[in-house]
Amino acid sequence: MENEHIVILGNGISGVSVARHIRKLSDKKITIVSGESDYFFSRTALMYVYMGHMKFEHTQPYEAYFWKKNRIELKKGWVSEVQTAQKVLIFEDGTTLKYDRLVIATGSKPNKFGWPGQDLKGVTGMYHKQELEAIEAYAPNNQICKRAVIVGGGLIGIELAEMMSSRKIPVTFLVRESSFWNGVLPAGESEMINRHIFNHHIDLRLNTNLKEITSDENGRVKSVILQETGEEIPCGLVGLTAGVSPNIDVFKDSEIETKRGVLVNRFLETNIESVYAIGDCAEQHEGIGERRPIEAVWYTGRMMGETLAQTICDNRIAYKPGHWFNSAKFFDIEYQTYGWVFSKPREGEAHFHWKHADDTKCVTVCYDSSSRRFLGINTFGIRMRHQVFDTWLNERRDVDYVIENLCDANFDPEFFKHFESDIISAFKNEAQVEAA
């Protein structure tokens, strides 16, 4: 139906992707709803606004006229209730909005675990625009914020540490694990990142948990107290970066089925007809292949949006994300992963690990120990092409072929030193040792 009204809750990458592709395929009426910001912005670029690399408006990929030109209506506001039987949204200010089809793309929110003081002024996550504004207010410089404490070791935590360092604000980084992100990274990689964090003058505390956050007389954060030792660390900002969870509180009293996220099938459909969920807030009944049921990753949100647009425009297709990949940055070290490399080899798997002597570059390759089929690769400090590894995974190449042809995947800038010959030599030496 061309006169259908499609309402999209959330103006992040998932919501905007489905809106753009519905418009490419149809003349349906489209409304994007968000209380966070007027326009879509690149969430992954927020850290660079604080660091002075760009202004907030530079994070917006589309000019303000784009939305009107493409007949995509924008409504700013927070939804307080969803009435699926009546197909109506009720906003906090009492206004309502009718829909024919509803797309839930409400993203994530930072995890909180009931710590005393977790809602004080100066305690924040690093996910939403409002949280960036809070960080700017409570940690504008190292005179007002003499120390920041970051709770939780992951990709958002390391970004926040880099942000604070850019303004010379001392950082204490509390990580409950014995090594940074060691539930994801193999030991050699995780330990290299530990050293890299220390080298950037971050007070990294491994095996350390937060007990409570204390307040001054104005309800503002004053310090944190550690669980293991009772040590009190004075600070002006506490960053809660112990992961994120689906932002779905508004749906929990509705007829829409939820678990950790909004439950969807392979077509991104919920249990309610004409209601869909995509992006960080969507939870598959069962993970696709090795993937988790919830994927809080930028590119999967985009892919879900593009896929769902086809279904809404009468070409019902399943969400098929393909081979896993991701990328991030740990201060100066770029990280990429293609395929599956778990923190420890699973049964029937083997890892080959190479690290450069400068301790800022390494590669870990996972392969089937019987067939020698290539399963995945992690690279740190060496840029590799996604398309090449995607092709090799599709072709089910063996690990020997991949190692011998690593140079075909490299896309470091011109004049960068290449390390493929060193990696090949280390791989062959390891194979000779194993054979001996």
DSSP characters over 274-312? TEEE-GGGEEESS-STTS-SS---HHHHHHHHHHHHHHH
Same domain, 141 and 182: yes
Does residue 140 lie within any of the structural domains?
yes
* Residue at token pair 């994927």: 295
Q: What is the dihedral of CA 427, 431, 434, 436, to 10 degrees?
A: -130
Same domain, 274 and 368: no
Transcribe 370-403 into DSSP letters. Answer: TT-BEEEEEEESS-B-HHHHHHHHHTT-BHHHHH
CATH code at 197? 3.50.50.60
- Residue 52 has a pLDDT of 97
How wide is the angle at C-alpha 161 spanned by C-alphas 158 and 166, nearest 5°? 130
Q: Given 242, 257, 283, which residue is the final one in a domain? A: 242
- Residue 370 has a pLDDT of 97
Same domain, 345 and 280: no
CATH code at 409? 3.30.390.30
Same domain, 53 and 76: yes
Does residue 157 lie within any of the structural domains?
yes
Q: Among positive and negative, which fits the CA dihedral 267, 24, 291, 154?
A: negative
Q: Domain span at residue 83?
A: 5-109+245-312
- Global confidence as pTM: 0.94
Does residue 116 lie within any of the structural domains?
no
Residues pairing with 213 in the sheet: 224
- Residue 215 has a pLDDT of 98
**For residues 60 and 62, what is the distance between their CA atoms, to the nearest angstrom?**
6
- Residue 434 has a pLDDT of 73
The one-digit pLDDT tens for each residue of the chain (436 residues) are 668 999 999 999 999 999 999 999 999 999 999 999 999 999 999 999 999 999 999 999 999 999 999 999 999 999 999 999 999 999 999 999 999 999 999 999 999 999 999 999 999 999 999 999 999 999 999 999 999 999 998 999 999 999 999 999 999 999 999 999 999 999 999 999 999 999 999 999 999 999 999 999 999 999 999 999 999 999 999 999 999 999 999 999 999 999 999 999 999 999 999 999 999 999 999 999 999 999 999 999 999 999 999 999 999 999 999 999 999 999 999 999 999 999 999 999 999 999 999 999 999 999 999 999 999 999 999 999 999 999 999 999 999 999 999 999 998 877 788 899 999 999 999 877 776 5
Question: Are the C-beta atoms of 190 and 341 separated by less than 8 Å?
Answer: no
* Residue at token pair 């740990």: 330
Same domain, 332 and 428: yes
Residues pairing with 365 in the sheet: 352, 377
Q: Residue 94's CB: how many other CB atoms inside 10 A?
A: 7
- Residue 265 has a pLDDT of 98
Does residue 141 lie within any of the structural domains?
yes
- Residue 1 has a pLDDT of 66
Same domain, 85 and 163: no
Does residue 187 lie within any of the structural domains?
yes
Same domain, 105 and 249: yes
Sheet with 210-215, edge to edge strand ranges: 210-215, 221-226, 232-234
Does residue 118 lie within any of the structural domains?
no
Three-class SS state of 215:
strand
Q: Residue 395's CB: how many other CB atoms inside 10 A?
A: 10
- Residue 417 has a pLDDT of 84
**For residues 35 and 75, what is the distance between their CA atoms, to the nearest angstrom?**
8
Same domain, 336 and 308: no
- Residue 435 has a pLDDT of 64
Q: What are the helix and strand counts (H, E) for the chain? A: 10, 25
Structure tokens at 104: 């839930």
**For residues 158 and 26, what is the distance between their CA atoms, to the nearest angstrom?**
42
Q: Given 203, 218, 242, which residue is the final one in a domain? A: 242
Backbone angles phi, psi at 144, to 5 degrees: -80, -45
- Residue 436 has a pLDDT of 59
Does residue 114 lie within any of the structural domains?
no
